[in-house]
Chains A and B, each alone.
Chain A
């Protein structure tokens, strides 16, 4: 079973390696490996779910974003010339899907989750399923309520800051990749990241 197919897997390894992992999957897809395509399509949907949940703050629309990520990945994975660029492309695609969803709701009142509402809940009224493996004692030791507080605090950040923290700290993208996903310069990524960390620290202290 692959990492992303295992709901109990926690990604704690340095994620720089993950970009190469994506690139290897893309190469395998291009060589006709159906299992690699299956893996890539599941990952694309997982990324879309996490982005909807933690950045867009609209988990009820995660399913739409997941479908968009699935179809675009299916169409694009076989054609990409630089497999190393796939990861940034995937996150940018997911971000755009979320933005399109937002534009469609332009007449709706903005719905920001309160800290109470977002604490440990995925917006459907269920607890967030955080991968927490029985086989990783270090991850088990991570205090569950602390994790809920973290995700709750993250969703209280203004969206541009939330996106940077999500991409850099939670998903482990490089500064360069974050810049590509968000369409901003690397110095701008660093500035936003610093401000976001300061805000997040304050939110965590208050919660």
Chain B
């Protein structure tokens, strides 16, 4: 982060805000300031891209599903619980 137009302090400041930039939470003026900086600072641009990639990876990975035997046990517990409740209601 040592490009001629970008001071180290500025890079640090930008990186502190980069997640909020990715999440679209910054005001327009801050966004524009960051975008100007990114045009001049390939290192920060690289950090941005790799963070965006990490975030995308998390969001697109899918969530672990229950292994088959745990799924069967979970479903059995639900049916048992609801059957007991239905019995109680009948009494």
Contact = CB atoms under 8 A, between A and B. Distances in A.
A200 B53 CA distance: 11
A10 B64 contact: no
Given A122-B67, A146-B57, A42 B62 contact: no
A16 interface: no
Contact of B61 (A147, A197, A205): A147
Contact of B74 (A66, A169, A170): A66
B78 A7 contact: no
Interface in B35-91: 50-51, 53-55, 57-68, 70-71, 73-75, 77-79, 81-82, 85
Contact of B70 (A63, A142, A197): A63
A165 B63 contact: no
Given A46-B66, A129-B67, A201-B54, A38 B19 contact: no
Contact of A194 (B16, B53, B75): B16
Contact of A38 (B62, B66, B67, B82): B82
Contacts of B77: 41, 45, 66-67, 70
A197 B19 contact: yes
Nearest to B56: A169
B34 interface: no
Contacts of B61: 130, 142, 147, 150-151, 170
A113 to B, nearest CB: 14
A130 B78 contact: no
A41 B78 contact: yes
Nearest to B78: A41
Interface in A50-103: 50, 53-54, 62-63, 66-67, 70-71, 74
Contacts of A26: none
A12 interface: yes
B76 to A, nearest CB: 11
A142 B58 CA distance: 11
A165 B62 contact: no
B20 interface: yes
B18 interface: yes
A124 B82 CA distance: 29
Interface string B13-29: 00010111000010000
Given A54-B64, A142-B60, A170-B59, 17 more contacts: A7-B66, A7-B71, A9-B65, A38-B78, A49-B64, A50-B63, A63-B73, A66-B70, A129-B66, A130-B61, A139-B62, A150-B58, A150-B61, A151-B64, A170-B61, A172-B59, A190-B19
